[in-house]
Amino acid sequence: MTSDPIGAMLTTLRNGTLRCASHVNIPKSKLSAAILVVLKDAGYIFEIEELKPKDKHGLLKVGLLSGTRKPVFREIKRLSRPGLRRYAKATQIPTPLGGYGLIVISTPKGVMTGETARAKGLGGELLCEVS
């Protein structure tokens, strides 16, 4: 068991794209499922399927975009971690790669992209950055 399940999920996604895997399995949680839905809507992954649990915890089977030589995730990193939480107001949400990247933020209205949170005037915890 890891102390940072979101960091472990991001590492699994990064390693899966680097080895050109068609899918990876990730332990299920509400926050990881919400982050994966945001990544699916942004076009970084193509499917999320819940596998039948063998114990009390389930798994999410994530379909990765492969088939090209370049990985889909150029860089994916955790911004807020258990030892150092990072929060931002709506006006302070960063824009990675001049708007070509993606920030995933947890707001009081749910998990969404930084661009959507900025448009709605919501701030929150900066979870990860994808570029």
Q: Is residue 69 part of a domain?
A: no
Closest CA to 128 of 25, 36, 22: 36
Closest CA to 113 of 3, 96, 16: 96
Q: Is residue 71 part of a domain?
A: no
**pTM for this entry:** 0.92
Q: Do 37 and 10 belong together in one domain?
A: yes
Domain count, the chain: 2
Helices 30-42 and 5-18: crossing angle in degrees, nearest 10, is 40
Domain that includes residue 39, residue range: 5-64
How confident is the model over 47-75, as pLDDT tens digits? 999 998 777 778 999 999 876 666 677 78
How confident is the model over 16-56, as pLDDT tens digits? 988 888 899 999 999 999 999 999 999 889 999 999 877 77
How confident is the model over 76-129, as pLDDT tens digits? 999 999 999 999 999 999 999 887 889 999 999 999 999 999 999 999 999 999
Closest CA to 96 of 116, 123, 112, 75: 75
